[in-house]
């Protein structure tokens, strides 16, 4: 049984904690939050885990096989470096880091310590998006030439995550990061991008509506667009809608988890809505299922000495696109 410790017991940690309980081969034995009340609440939910309000104390006193960091980005580098100093494998939530230098330093620290590092980049672990990827990989739609990856809604994200309201870098850092990772997942590495941002909701500090055009190595083009202020009914939150056109056909992930594959004279359709995990509820089941999937992947990688799909090194390419998107939006030029 691999023994894990959690650092950060806020809003999203509830999903991690519940998911760990479904995963064979892992048990959370320690939880930590600098807010002692949050740490105690997580400890009570986590089957008798020991409770800490200081991560250094937890790492010094517990023999852990991994730590799962679920804090916001400013604390990621010191906490990942702390885990590396203790030679403890580490999962870090997205956004990986507030700067590319920090992200590189975290990858280097773990490489030098010889410990695995995975970024909790869970969107590519959503089963409807994995179904799209399987169709692309199977060759059924031929060589992809164009993709649109879209996430537009007006769900009130600010009640659960009040810190988002005052973030000067909002939608690209919080959500675009997932969608840019999906663009890499579906079409391969991006060589160039052009980004346009808007702040439509006057009550928030950062951009809440973004359009990004990417060139991919090999010639495909993708359009990644997302908004936190799109008024429509039914609101598809938190679904990612996808359309990928290839040389033989098109795959679409439509609202309601409706998968459609078609070409000249043929089409087929499938319901790919994920099951609601035992701890979950709609409309969050899509995200909650992906948390179980990525955490299970981490344990399988640790057990079999394999590199996680969203390792720190892999995620440098995703977060690089995030910073290039901000640069392009600021300069008005491609990056």
Residues of this chain that interact with ligand NAD (CB under 6 A) are: 7-13, 32-35, 38, 55, 70-73, 75, 79, 93-94, 120, 122, 161, 163, 174, 287
Distance between CA 123 and CA 186 in Å, rounded? 12
By beta carbon distance, the residue nearest ligand NAD is 10
Q: CB-based burial of residue 245 (10 Å sphere; 0-12 exposed, 13-18 middle, 19+ buried)?
A: middle
Alpha helices in the chain (DSSP H): 13-20, 36-45, 55-61, 76-85, 100-113, 127-138, 171, 177-187, 285-304, 312-331
Find the shortest distance in angstroms from Cβ 267 to ligand NAD: 32
Minimum distance between the CB of residue 237 and ligand NAD, rounded to whole angstroms?
Answer: 12
* CB nearer ligand NAD, residue 14 or residue 221: 14
Give the phi and the psi of residue 97 in degrees, each rounded to 5: -155, 155
CA distances from 3 to 23, 203, 234 (A): 12, 43, 42
Q: Which is nearer to ligand NAD, 178 or 216 (CB)?
A: 178
| DSSP track, 254-269 | ETTTEEEEEETTEEEE
- Nearest approach in angstroms of CB 73 to ligand NAD is 6
Query: Is residue 213 within 8 Å of 242, Cβ to Cβ?
Result: no
CA-based torsion, 323, 320, 72, 132: positive or negative? positive
The smaller minimum CB distance to ligand NAD, of residues 66 and 251, is found at 66
Cis before residue 234, ω within 30 degrees of 0? yes
For every residue of 182-193, DSSP letters joined together read: HHHHHH--EEEE
- Closest CB to ligand NAD among 34 and 198? 34
Distance of closest approach, residue 23 Cβ to ligand NAD, in angstroms: 17
For ligand NAD, give the closer residue by CB, 93 or 222. Answer: 93
- Specify whether the CB–CB gap between 153 and 228 falls below 8 A: yes
At its nearest, how many Å lie between ligand NAD and the CB of residue 16? 9
CA 113 to chain centre: 25
**Residue 92 to residue 73: CA distance in whole angstroms:** 9
- CB closer to ligand NAD, 7 vs 30: 7
Task: Please state the closest distance from residue 143 (CB atom) to ligand NAD, in A.
Answer: 31
Enter the tokens of residue 152: 């537009």
What is the smallest separation between the CB atom of 283 and ligand NAD, expressed in angstroms?
Answer: 13
Considering beta carbons, is residue 75 or 335 the nearer one to ligand NAD?
75
Instruction: Pick the closest to residue 96 from 117, 125, 116, 66 (CA basis).
Output: 117
Residue among 62 and 174 whose Cβ is closer to ligand NAD: 174
From CA 173, how far away is CA 184, in angstroms rounded? Answer: 16
Give me the least distance between CB of 52 and ligand NAD, in Å please.
Answer: 8
């Amino acid at each position: 049984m691999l023994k894990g410790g959690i650092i950060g017991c806020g809003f999203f940690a509830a999903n991690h904690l519940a998911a760990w309980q479904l995963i064979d081969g892992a048990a959370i034995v320690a939880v930590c939050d600098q807010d002692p009340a949050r740490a105690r609440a997580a400890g009570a939910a986590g089957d008798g885990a020991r409770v800490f309000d200081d991560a250094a104390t937890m790492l010094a006193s517990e023999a852990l096989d991994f730590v799962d960091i679920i804090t916001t980005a400013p604390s990621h580098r010191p906490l990942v470096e702390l885990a590396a100093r203790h030679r403890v494998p580490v999962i870090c939530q997205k956004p990986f880091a507030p700067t590319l230098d920090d992200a590189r330093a975290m990858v280097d620290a773990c490489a030098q310590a010889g410990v695995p590092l995975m970024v909790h980049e869970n969107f590519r672990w959503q089963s409807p998006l994995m179904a799209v990827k399987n169709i692309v990989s199977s060759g059924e739609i031929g060589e992809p030439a164009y993709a649109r990856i879209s996430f537009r809604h007006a769900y009130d994200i600010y009640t659960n995550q009040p810190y988002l309201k005052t973030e000067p870098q909002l939608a690209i850092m919080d959500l675009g990061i997932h969608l840019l990772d999906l663009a890499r997942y579906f079409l391969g590495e991006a060589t160039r991008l052009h980004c346009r941002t808007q702040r439509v909701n006057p009550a928030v500090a950062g951009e809440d509506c973004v359009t990004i055009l990417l060139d991919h190595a090999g010639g495909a083009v993708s359009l990644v667009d997302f908004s936190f202020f799109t008024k429509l009914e039914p609101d598809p939150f938190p679904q990612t809608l996808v359309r990928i056109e290839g040389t033989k056909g098109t795959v679409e992930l439509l609202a309601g988890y409706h998968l459609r594959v078609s070409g000249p004279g043929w089409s087929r359709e499938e319901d790919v809505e994920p099951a609601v995990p035992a701890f979950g509820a709609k409309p969050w089941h899509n995200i909650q299922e992906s948390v179980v999937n990525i955490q299970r992947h981490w344990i399988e990688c640790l057990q079999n000495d394999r590199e996680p799909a969203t390792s720190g090194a892999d995620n440098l390419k995703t977060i690089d696109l995030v910073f290039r998107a901000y640069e392009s939006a600021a300069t008005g030029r491609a990056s």
